[in-house]
Amino acid sequence: MNAPTTPRRPGIAQRVHEAMHPAGDDGHDDAFDPGACRASGCPCRGSVDLGSSGRFLCAWHAWAPPDKAHTVTHGLRSHRWLIDFVGEVQAMYRDGAKGDPWVARAREFWREEPRMQPTATEARHWSLYLWRLREELSHRIGLRADAPVPRVRQCEEEGFAARAVAVQGEEVAA
């Protein structure tokens, strides 16, 4: 009589494997951009190497639950317009357009959805806006329940200056 086997929890290797070969995928479509996410059919760049395998996944595939890999691929493919927009903003910034051009482009791009336009703080701090765009993509493909809100720098949070003064006061008093 065979002892029942206990299913093991999926480890990192299995997660990588399942992201690369979703159910129904024969794994032979590797005609193959070395910079691409190794999840089959994913339109993103690979940037996360779980377990130092030399096989890079995009951040969405790397951290998604294994059973969601296929859904994530589908979501990313249907949001190419947003992925392309993130790339466009990055390129505008990288190419030296550090002033307003990318801000104007983003405001125009999101004309119908003002909540997605860069805030005054995000317009000054490009990386905060990029972070929100990535979180928004996570939200739209179902990896994140709530829509992200614009971030503020810690030093610009309400009350931060008052707290800083209070801490300095304690140090002086000590």
Q: How far is the CB of 76 from Zn ion (least distance, A)?
A: 6
Q: How far is the CB of 144 from Zn ion (least distance, A)?
A: 16
The CB-based long-range contact list for 33-37 (8 Å cut-off, 24+ gap) reads 37/61
Nearer to Zn ion, 72 or 123 (CB): 72
Which among 60, 34, 63 is positioned nearest to 50, based on CA atoms? Answer: 63
Phi, psi of 162 (to 5 degrees): -65, -40
Residues binding Zn ion (CB under 5 A): 37, 39, 42, 44, 58, 61
Nearer to Zn ion, 105 or 140 (CB): 140
| Packed helices 126-140 and 80-94: angle between N→C axes, nearest 10 degrees | 170
Nearer to Zn ion, 31 or 165 (CB): 31
Q: How far is the CB of 37 from Zn ion (least distance, A)?
A: 3
Helix (H, G, I), strand (E, B) or coil at 116: helix
Nearer to Zn ion, 60 or 126 (CB): 60
Q: How far is the CB of 131 from Zn ion (least distance, A)?
A: 18
Distance CA(124)–CA(99), nearest Å, equals 9
